[in-house]
A and B are shown apart, each in its own frame.
Chain A
């Protein structure tokens, strides 16, 4: 079946603008994760959803970052007042149940560039 999809694949924006990044998880997966990856680094955890609720948002760097998953499927990561340091690849992953040891399936990512 289809894997995790993310749109857009690339997003270029100007400093101070607002952006939304979308993630479509694997159908039936209750757990959804957002990570971001800077060049030469491993993915950095941002937030984890179990169903519609954010079960762990400890990785969000500040209050400019917000994510929602209103129907327990698609999720949107929202970044306000973007800064150049926000430039990175934003990865979404989903897993069946969200339990420890559950396999996470990653999407292709959205490359965000803030000019």
Chain B
């Protein structure tokens, strides 16, 4: 099946710095979803991108879907300590979500 790879696996930033995580697929995706999991918490749905070249914003978070629908990125502007957690872009096999290790973001103040 198609694989979605996510980089980096870990990122540490100082509060106020920007952060970006990338997801890349070897095949065209019909859509991509992003989830966030806080330490000790459970995955929480953030957004779904469907259209080629789509860009969506949620406050300081900007999500992009590549023109070829093979990659996606999540960019956080001016990180805050509340952004700490692991961000996932799971692959979809049928209706099941196939999670990789995600990108774990730590923020120091």
Contact = CB atoms under 8 A, between A and B. Distances in A.
Contact of A59 (B48, B86, B96): B96
A98 B94 CA distance: 9
Interface residues of A, number: 28
Interface residues on B, range: 20 to 34
Contacts, number: 63
A107 interface: yes
A102 B50 CA distance: 12
B95 A48 contact: yes
15 contacts: A33-B96, A35-B97, A42-B88, A43-B97, A45-B97, A91-B42, A93-B43, A100-B92, A100-B95, A101-B30, A104-B97, A105-B45, A106-B43, A107-B42, A108-B42
Interface of B: 30-31, 33, 41-45, 48, 50, 86, 88, 90, 92-102
